[in-house]
Amino acid sequence: MVQKQGNWVPYQLKPRDVERRLFACEQLLARQKRKGFLHRIVTGDEKWVHYDNPKRRKSWGYPGHASTSTAKPNIHGSKVMLCIWWDQLGVVYYELLKPTETIIADRYRTQLMRLSQALNDKRPQYNERHDKVIFKHDNVLLHVGKVVKTYLETLKWEVLPHPPYSPDIAPSDYHLFRSMAHGLSYQHFRSYEEVKNWIDSWIASKDDQFFQQGIRKLPERWEKVVANDGQYFET
C-alpha cells in the first residue's frame, strides 16, 4: 500500500481498477465537454482531525547520515471525525463527531437527510431550476450500503460514478483536506470545543474562489488519469 492524498491505496492497481478509472474519467470528460455540469456538483467525505498535529519536515544530511524528521500525528491519540459536504459556493453542511463516535451506514443516511435540508435552505437554486444536484462521494462501504442507496434514490440526486482507489480525483481529498492539513500543522487542541472553533474559523477564512478552484480542477485531473492510461499521476 502507498499513500495518495492522505489515503492508503494499493501500490500497484489491478488491471480491472485501472480500466475502471480510465473508463470513468473518459466518460466524465466527454460529458463535461458536451455540457458543463461542475456547478451542480455537491461533494463530501470524512476526515480524522487529531488533537496533536506536529508538522512533519524532513531535512537533508551528509552522505551516510540519516535525515531527521518530526513525528507524524499519533494515530492512537485523541481525535475526532469531521464529516463535511461542499460545492463550488462553499461548505453546505458539516458535522464534527464526538470523540467516541464514528460512522456507520445508518448514521450516514441521517447525515444525508440533514444535508438535503441544508441544501434546501442554503442553495434554493437546486430546486428552482431543472438541473438537480449531482452528488459525488467515494465508494467506501458506508457510502454504498443499501440504506444509503435507497435514501439517495428518494432524493432523486444523480450520483456521480467514482472508481475505486481514486482519491486523486476526489475534490475533498486533493483540495479541501489537503489545504486543511496544512492549516492544522502545529495545532494542538485541548478539547472538542477547540477543534470545532478552529474548523469554524478555517471555513470562514476561505472565499468562494477557494471552493470554485477545488471543483473546477476536476476536468484537469480526469485528463491526467486518461493521459496516464488509468494509472496514478504525479501531483
Higher pLDDT, 31 or 61: 31
Of 211, 184, 7, 168, give the one whose Cα is nearest residue 80.
184
Asked whether residue 70 carries a pLDDT value surpassing 50, the answer given is no
Give CA–CA dist 217/215, Å, rounded. Answer: 5
pLDDT at 133: 93
- Specify the CATH number for 36-53+68-227; select among 3.40.50.720, 3.40.50.300, 3.30.420.10, 3.40.50.700: 3.30.420.10
pTM of the model: 0.86
Express each pLDDT in 109-155 by its tens digit.
999 999 999 999 999 888 776 668 999 999 888 888 899 999 999 99
Computed over every residue of the chain, the mean pLDDT equals 87
- The length of the chain in residues reads 235
Question: % helix / strand / coil in the chain, to the nearest 5?
Answer: 45, 15, 35
C-alpha to C-alpha distances, 214 to 39, 41, 121, 144, 187, nearest whole angstrom: 12, 11, 23, 24, 24
Residue pair 142/104 in contact (Cβ under 8 Å)? The answer is yes
Any idea where the domains of the chain sit in the sequence?
36-53+68-227
